Structure 1
Amino acid sequence: MNILHVIANLAPRYGGPAKAGMEMAAALAARGHDVTIFTTNQDGSGVLEVPTDRTIRKNGVDIRYFPVIQPKFWRTSPAMAAALKKEMPRFDIVHIHSLYLFHGMAAGHYARKHGVPYIVRPHGTLDPVMHARHRYRKKIMETLFEDRNIRRADALHYTTEEELLLAEPYVHGSSGFVVPNGINSSDYRELPPKGTFRSRYKLLEGKRMLLFFSRINFKKGLDVLVEAFRDIHRRHPDTVLVLTGPDDENYGQRVRDWLKAASLSEFAIFTGMLTGTDKLAVLRDADLFLLPSYSENFGIAVVEAMACGVPVVISDKVNIWREVVAEGAGLATPVDPIRVADAACQLLDDPELRERMGERGRAMASQYYEWSQVAAQLEQEYRRLAGEAGRAGSGRGAQAGLTWGS
């Protein structure tokens, strides 16, 4: 199949969505498909140092970067729209990542215009917490294009059953399927020697390391984490909190202020974003992974921690929490600092339980979230939807909707 993925950005600072989009495309290419990604060169307030005048080949995937222009919050790229208009007819199916952004409006419009089946992946934006955020601005976009994109999509792609259920009130009856995100378990098979990360920080000598490994972002429950850490550290003074991840919109300063107010600054380490062996080293040395998010459509960082044998404590708003608990790979709590602290202390007090959960998490990651398996599931959905679109005939293109740039 000739498959197009359309995503706002691939810069590493955007965390799980960018990582998953690239790896998903590569896994499909490994199954013999022709896979193309259309994206922008946005990297925060700047741009990536990538060519925007030609295709880049990476991991078997053709990647087209297009210039982003103002307003950048909308990931605006007329050059991408022009390419979609020209090239859309050659694709068998289109996979649109996330809502409320320019690339989704353009891709949905031209897919309908040319009768190409398309899938919309909400990326958690239809979770009630996220749906309510910036509601006025989103309502305008829903009226202009997003409701149409959702109603006329051939399917919505969710990564968990929980995400599907939470999105139901907002999808106008559109059908969907569940296929999870994935990892390449081989990337986590050979880990750095234990102690590699700890050796870089004197503070970690003889201490137990609690790891937050995600974007420094409002939805990650960092206010809850700081309050929970206050209680954990009172009960276990040998604990240090390590926060690893890119800082969204300078939110990290707020976290530092909370830590200072709680007299915990000297027991916390901010590493920034880590990649490659540095990332594996911090995961390898963690005693416990903590993620008390307010909203998390999947939680790829949770799977990465489990792949490294780290027991996890997550909130029941991280949408794989049921699976994690059922497999015995970790504990889940409400988004409440007392409950988070109690769960963390339960594991800190029981080394054997931590070890068992770490082993079960490693098994769970490889059994359920290997990209080769995930890609096979996606391929099955693509073929089903492309077949249904073909049987529906050529009348699909008559309902393109928005008439701009037609």
Structure 2
Amino acid sequence: MLYSADPKLGGVIEAVRLQQAPLLACGVEVEIVSCDSPDSPWLNGQLPVQALGPSKYSYGYTPHLLPWLRANAHRFDAVIAEGIWQYHSFAVWRALRGAATPYYIFPHGMLDPWFKQAYPLKHFKKWLYWPWAEYRALRDARRVIFTCDEERRLAKKSFWLYKVNAAVGALGVATPPENGEGLAAGFLNQYPDLQSKRIVLYLGRIHEKKGCDLLIEAFAKVAVRDANLHLVMAGPDPTGWLPKLQAHAEELGIPHRITWSGMLQGDMKWGAFYAAEVFCLPSHQENFGIVVAEALACGKPVLISNKVNIWREIEAAGAGFVADDTQAGTEELLNCWLALNTEDFAVMRAKTLQCFQEHFHVKRAARRLVEIIRECK
């Protein structure tokens, strides 16, 4: 159960999509329900979705959801609300509180206290909504499932009225396509100016919370060290921030050192990962970071801030570098990478694959979700 299956909205639908095959392998049948309009262009048959919209406003209200839940809940062993702050999680609570079918909630980082600090007005509005809706939905859920222990710990700091039955699950990604050289060649054929470049890849939404401006400023500082350094900024621009970032790159004198590819999917996305030397995400808030796991799966060291909630696992595994979510911290990440000699870089690359297999493979995440649901029966 989720607000929307639109891939441009970020990690929630991607997390749901990635778990379909491994859950089926565990013997679990999954039905996805969203508040999308049935004629939404992203509902193209690649991911079966029961669309109960159209919904109204950004809240995602649709009058069809609550009666559908009440009529169909008996068909399921469990209902999972993916994400909060929109109508679908409130509707799940209204339909299933005290019902025979238990419900679970994945907050997907939406209780992170960073939002309180970054958007105080929005947080005040959420406080008006919190006591009578989201607090109750979380309180009465069979389990509130956090994707890592860091998320569970941080969630306690957003609202003083807080009570949940917490469980720590996982997210993960599947093993990527193995024809890395061919995929990289396909990507570089599309962007021939990147041939022979040392690529720093950013892949995600062009959004304030992702620290895109920090990366551009830090890259401008280190670019003078090697004429072959090049930054690829890949992702959609949902808030219209891109022109300002491009203008800032002009001011810094590095527009020719940055490629803005827009959103990459399928082979082009994997080709970008394989063509890159490192992946960088200096985010101010990142609940998990599916793209970080994807980079590790492709054998790429990751340069991340300590606001990416899986940073402890990355640091302990030696699979990348971690620093503060500041310009100085991001510059430190890039400099640490550039300081590696060939042998040390090869060692770090080997550790990325080990880290992926031990912590972030989607099969592990699917098994953990099944364990949580079975433990609660």
Q: TM-score, normalised by structure 2?
A: 0.92
Task: Confirm or deny that 1:20 pairs with 2:6.
Answer: no
2:27 aligns with: 32
Kindly state the Cα deviation for residue 113 of structure 1 after the two structures are TM-superposed. Answer: 4.9
Report percent identity of matched pairs: 28
- Give the whole-Å Cα distance in 1 for the aligned partners of 2:33 and 2:315: 37
- Give the whole-Å Cα distance in 2 for the aligned partners of 1:182 and 1:86: 32
- Give the whole-Å Cα distance in 1 for the aligned partners of 2:65 and 2:35: 8
- Alignment CA distance shift 1:42-1:225 (3 Å): farther
Count matched residues: 370
- Alignment CA distance shift 1:42-1:309 (3 Å): farther
Say whether the 8 Å CA contact 1:224–1:292 is kept in structure 2: yes
In the TM superposition, what whole-angstrom CA distance separates every residue of 1:9-56 from its partner, at most 9, and x where no partner exists? 11221232111112224422221122211113269xx932649xxxx7
- Give the whole-Å Cα distance in 1 for the aligned partners of 2:237 and 2:310: 24
In the TM superposition, what whole-angstrom CA distance separates every residue of 1:256-309 from its partner, at most 9, and x where no partner exists? 122122222121111111111111111001011110000001011001011111
- Measured on the aligned residues, the alpha-carbon RMSD in Å equals 2.1
Identify which of 131, 134, 137 aligns with 2:125.
137
In the TM superposition, what whole-angstrom CA distance separates every residue of 1:128-165 from its partner, at most 9, and x where no partner exists? 11244311321222133111111112211111111111
1:363 aligns with: 354
- Give the whole-Å Cα distance in 2 for the aligned partners of 1:324 and 1:284: 19
Q: TM-score, normalised by structure 1?
A: 0.85
Identify which of 272, 278, 285 aligns with 1:288.
278
Q: Which amino acid aligns with 1:127?
A: D
Identify which of 38, 55, 58 aligns with 1:69.
55
Residue 166 of structure 1: SS of its match in structure 2?
Answer: helix
2:95 aligns with: 110
In the TM superposition, what whole-angstrom CA distance separates every residue of 1:71-127 from its partner, at most 9, and x where no partner exists? 1x1122222222112112332211111111011110121111524222111111111
- Alignment CA distance shift 1:138-1:303 (3 Å): same
Instruction: Extract structure 1 runs of 4+ deviating beyond 3 A.
Output: none
Say whether the 8 Å CA contact 2:199–2:232 is kept in structure 1: yes
Q: Which structure is higher in strand share? A: 1
1:393 aligns with: none
1:383 aligns with: 374
Identify which of 40, 44, 48 aligns with 1:47.
40
**Map 1:152-191 → 2, pairs under 5 A:** 152-169=140-157, 170=159, 172-185=162-175, 187-191=176-180
Kindly state the Cα deviation for residue 223 of structure 1 after the two structures are TM-superposed. Answer: 1.6
Task: Confirm or deny that 1:123 pairs with 2:108.
Answer: yes
Kindly state the Cα deviation for residue 192 of structure 1 after the two structures are TM-superposed. Answer: 4.0
Q: Which runs of 5+ in 1 are unaligned?
A: 1-5, 388-406
Q: Which amino acid aligns with 1:373?
A: R
- Alignment CA distance shift 1:76-1:354 (3 Å): farther
Task: Confirm or deny that 1:374 pairs with 2:362.
Answer: no
- Give the whole-Å Cα distance in 2 for the aligned partners of 1:353 and 1:255: 33
Q: Which amino acid aligns with 1:353?
A: D
- Alignment CA distance shift 1:333-1:141 (3 Å): same
Task: Confirm or deny that 1:249 pairs with 2:239.
Answer: yes
Q: Which runs of 5+ in 2 are unaligned?
A: none
Say whether the 8 Å CA contact 2:170–2:368 is kept in structure 1: no
- Give the whole-Å Cα distance in 1 for the aligned partners of 2:274 and 2:287: 25
1:392 aligns with: none
Say whether the 8 Å CA contact 1:240–1:268 is kept in structure 2: yes
Q: Which amino acid aligns with 1:16?
A: G
Q: Which moved more, 1:328-337 or 1:352-361?
A: 352-361
- Give the whole-Å Cα distance in 2 for the aligned partners of 1:260 and 1:128: 34
